[in-house]
């Protein structure tokens, strides 16, 4: 398994707090920003060497100028097994909430969706192994480090994964602009898996057939579709809203 570079203040912060092995922290020479100094302190706690380099050196390491002056060399991201996510949910004693992504291609969308899932308290994210974006440094940056806080499973067959979740009592909702039922007409307080389709094609036909229901987000105005990551966030937090109402939380 190859090493990788994680860059950006928040992704590096979460990576240093996470379980993956970190090898070296690179920071721009003479950088005195408070948040960077906090990273240096975290690295010292973990015994991670700190290397000071010129800004252009970090550009070469990260492959982008958008590194915010920090980069962390660490072991490559390890995906979680779907069964492990099921176990995590069982142990939580909470209604299940999973985000299933069907062939999301844009790493920025993937990162944003993972971040929304983590913020919504989802038990995990499920993505296909083929013809879809995987977790990369770009995804970690777009997620603001959220990939270090929520399990991400990469599965060979998404249809089989959905059937496995059904066997566990999950109700599968797919999302589509063409669905006649609105998300706001659904009761989503049980064990729910939300399927978000790809940016261009949406949920694939075979995956759609595996869903118990297809739902849409009501739209106003002249645009007839939402960005995949925006749609995922709206649905996730509608579920959060409904569950807070049931529990009486505020």
pLDDT tens for each residue of 65-75: 888 889 999 99
Q: Is 138 found in the same domain as 236?
A: yes
Residue 99 and residue 196 in contact, taking contact as beta carbons nearer than 8 Å: yes
Block mean pLDDT (10 aa), the chain, length 250 = 83 87 89 83 92 90 88 91 97 96 94 96 96 89 90 96 97 93 94 93 94 93 83 96 82
Q: Is 13 found in the same domain as 29?
A: yes
pLDDT at 1: 52
DSSP 153-204: EEES-HHHHHHHHHHTTPEEEEE-TT-SEEGGGS---SSEEEEE-BTTTBS-
Residues 183 and 239: their CA atoms lie apart, in Å, by 9
pLDDT tens for each residue of 133-153: 999 888 988 998 899 899 999
134 Cβ contact list (under 8 Å, min separation 6): 127, 154
CATH code of the domain containing 9: 3.30.1330.30
Q: Which of 73, 14, 26, 30 is nearest to 50 (CA)?
A: 26
- Considering only the C-alpha atoms of the chain, give the largest distance between any 2 of them, rounded to a whole number of Å: 58
Q: Which of 148, 160, 161 is nearest to 98 (CA)?
A: 161
CATH code of the domain containing 106: 3.40.1280.10
* 3-class secondary-structure state, position 153: strand
Total domain count, the chain = 2
Residues 125 and 150: their CA atoms lie apart, in Å, by 8
Q: Is 95 found in the same domain as 198?
A: yes
Q: Which of 80, 78, 67 is nearest to 10 (CA)?
A: 67
């Amino acid at each position: 398994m190859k090493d990788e570079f994680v860059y950006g203040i928040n992704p590096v912060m979460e990576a240093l707090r996470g379980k993956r092995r970190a090898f070296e922290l690179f920071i721009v020479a003479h950088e005195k920003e408070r948040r960077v100094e906090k990273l240096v302190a975290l690295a010292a706690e973990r015994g991670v060497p700190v290397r000071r380099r010129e800004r252009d050196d970090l550009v070469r390491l990260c492959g982008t100028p958008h590194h915010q002056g920090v980069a962390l060399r660490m072991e490559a991201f390890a995906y979680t097994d779907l069964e492990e996510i099921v176990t995590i949910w069982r142990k939580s004693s909470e209604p299940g909430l999973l985000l299933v992504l069907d062939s999301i291609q844009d790493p920025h969308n993937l990162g944003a969706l993972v971040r929304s899932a983590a913020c919504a308290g989802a038990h995990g994210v499920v993505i296909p192994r083929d013809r879809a974006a995987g977790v990369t440094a770009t995804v970690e940056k777009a997620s603001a480090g959220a990939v270090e806080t929520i399990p991400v499973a990469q599965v060979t067959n998404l249809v089989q994964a959905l059937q496995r979740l059904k066997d566990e009592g999950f109700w599968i909702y797919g999302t589509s602009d063409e669905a006649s039922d609105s998300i706001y007409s659904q009761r989503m307080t049980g064990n729910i898996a939300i399927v978000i389709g790809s940016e261009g094609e949406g949920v694939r036909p075979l995956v759609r057939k595996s869903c118990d229901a297809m739902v849409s987000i009501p739209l106003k105005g002249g645009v007839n579709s939402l960005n995949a990551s925006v749609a995922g966030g709206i649905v996730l937090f509608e579920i959060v809203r409904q569950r807070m109402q049931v529990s009486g939380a505020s």
